[in-house]
Chains A and B, each alone.
Chain A
């Protein structure tokens, strides 16, 4: 039994299901990240937890208590919004104090609590300012303090850094992660930013059109995704569509064929799907040099070279006369190494553990077949 459980949540705003039969469990003290493109229903899911949106079906359970019928103000849930949503007519201090119950807490207790949380987020000296006089980052800190002040059972963060500039967002997400972990509050963060998800999450749930496609630890999801969507969304894996054939050769038990590749697989593949795909991260694809230990290689032509700072990003097309659907792959080469120029033919390979076998539910589109998705 998880601390927070969502089961069979369906939400319909009147134009079809936005959230479709969603199930999610979060352990106590865990930071869960809902990752997905805009419009995939992740923010709506948060609102369901907070009681701001009423689902068509489904239940929300916290610590064994079904709170599905509770109004938002009785749920004891903290919410940090994308644009901080600090009350503009109240000072920072009054904003933070807003959620503290006047009946059960003395004025002195409330003041002390406000001081504590403002200190926690490093905003003590701004206590008497109005939100309009704060920068975006400061406002978001206050918003976090305000949400944490009443000691919520669950903290929800809806794209809290997406309205900040990139450097500030990076700094703030580390700080917020530290604060949330020090408080130990169970939390769900919604984002479309994969780096943010990887940095902040204990576990990541990838969402697509109202469903959770896959969930795992950050590293697990990045290293070995099991769906094409998650593989591409996290780390922009190259997804190559094809099929698997059994072999009895000495070097491999089966063979992946597709996109111009014939990749031997040493590990056994249980039930062999007629159609499947493999996912390989751009940084895991190696360019063959003399003396490398490649078991197999495939020839590819460099189509485009992009300099992206620490890395070079190369777009390459597999050269294969037999197959029409040759894959277009993205590879990343790190550091100051010789980068093959455009038009050059190179040989590539990757270690077997860099490759994940992923499920495909929809038939691949033409662009996916070409390796671009």
Chain B
């Protein structure tokens, strides 16, 4: 006879609640991912914008998306900015995370954490607009390095969160053990602390890269005219037409980004999506 799993009484076990939570969850998914479905379909649709219905299967839009020089240069800029921003965010984020978990008392308090995490709550749109005005008053032109710095600063809270959680999980006891075994601070960092937060570091790099790569509000105002990022080029393209090329490009971008997130979830056993 097969044993049935004993039923546990749980809060979520209440039928009405379960139905409600699933409905809300389903609607949320529909709202977030639903609009992507027609976009993805139109990327394979040979019909031009304005034509009704699916006109026929094609992958021409993809070849156009891949070969257009402005998209190509935008991609290169985006990769450069995202790579640089990830590096900057990692630098700020890892340092802040260490201060918040291992640092002096003032750095472990809520005030410092609030300061470090503030880029998450401040609207990027406002900040970049303000920054643009300020810079133009000062007569300063922000180059690609400046854009990288701003991206990095705004993405750093996500790095802080990943790294400080890992550092807090780890606690200080491994470091104490290493120190009592004769390891000085540098050796402890090199041989114990860093190896233990490596999964979190990997996850943080990918998150930071992705967040910078898809960023619009900062790049829109602050990207130098000669170095527009891919999302901005797509954004400006949208002003003229709802081209199926954009749909194809969106599909092309969605694949590596989703892949990267799934990759860090699997490899580093951290949850980013869910």
Contacts and interface: CB of A to CB of B under 8 A. Distances in A.
Contact of B177 (A51, A75, A87, A89): A87
A85 B195 contact: no
Contacts of B196: 87-89
Interface in A55-111: 71-79, 81, 83, 85-89, 98-99, 101
A335 interface: no
A150 B181 contact: yes
Interface residues of B, number: 17
Nearest to A82: B173
Contact of B183 (A86, A89, A98): A98
Contacts of B187: 73
A50 B177 contact: no
Pick the most buried of A47, A78, A83, A87: most chain B CB atoms within 10 A of its CB.
A87
B41 interface: no
B166 to A, nearest CB: 13
A75 B173 CA distance: 17
A359 B269 CA distance: 58
Contact of A73 (B105, B184, B192, B195): B184
Interface in B164-199: 173-174, 176-184, 187, 191-192, 195-196
A150 B180 CA distance: 10
A146 B182 CA distance: 12
Nearest to B191: A98
A50 B176 CA distance: 9
A146 B181 contact: yes
B173 A83 contact: yes
Contact of A85 (B176, B182, B183): B176
A309 interface: no
Nearest to B184: A73
Pick the most buried of A73, A79, A89, A147: most chain B CB atoms within 10 A of its CB.
A73
Range for the number of chain A residues in contact with chain B: 20 to 34
A72 B173 contact: no
A87 B192 contact: yes
Contacts of B180: 50, 52, 72-73, 75, 77-79, 147, 156
A52 B179 contact: yes
A98 B177 CA distance: 10
A88 B193 CA distance: 11
Nearest to A50: B180
Given A73-B183, A73-B184, A87 B178 contact: yes
Contacts of A47: 176
Given A14-B105, A87-B192, A89-B196, A73 B173 contact: no
Contacts of A72: 176, 179-180
Interface string B220-239: 00000000000000000000
Given A87-B192, A88-B196, A89-B196, A79 B184 contact: no
A295 B184 CA distance: 67
Contacts of B181: 73, 98-99, 146-147, 150
Contact of A101 (B177, B179, B182): B182
A81 B177 contact: yes
A157 to B, nearest CB: 12
A155 B247 CA distance: 67
A89 B195 contact: yes
Contacts of B178: 87, 98
Nearest to A94: B191
Nearest to B177: A85
A259 B35 CA distance: 83
Contacts of A101: 182
Contacts of B179: 51-52, 71-73
Nearest to A47: B176
A99 B176 contact: no
Given A99-B181, A150-B181, A79 B176 contact: yes
Contacts of B182: 73-74, 76, 99, 101, 150
Nearest to B182: A73
A99 B181 CA distance: 4
B46 to A, nearest CB: 54
A295 to B, nearest CB: 56
A60 to B, nearest CB: 14
Given A87-B192, A89-B196, A150-B182, A79 B177 contact: yes
A197 B196 CA distance: 35
Pick the most buried of B177, B191, B196: most chain A CB atoms within 10 A of its CB.
B177
Pick the most buried of A51, A52, A72: most chain B CB atoms within 10 A of its CB.
A72
Contacts of B173: 81, 83, 85
A81 to B, nearest CB: 6
A200 B174 CA distance: 26
28 contacts: A50-B176, A51-B179, A52-B176, A71-B184, A72-B179, A73-B181, A73-B182, A73-B183, A73-B184, A79-B176, A79-B177, A81-B173, A81-B176, A81-B177, A87-B177, A87-B192, A88-B196, A89-B195, A89-B196, A98-B181, A98-B183, A98-B191, A99-B181, A99-B182, A101-B182, A146-B177, A147-B180, A147-B181
Interface of A: 14, 47, 50-52, 71-79, 81, 83, 85-89, 98-99, 101, 146-147, 150, 156
List the 5 closest pairs (A to B, CB-CB), nearest first.
A99-B181, A72-B179, A79-B180, A85-B177, A85-B173
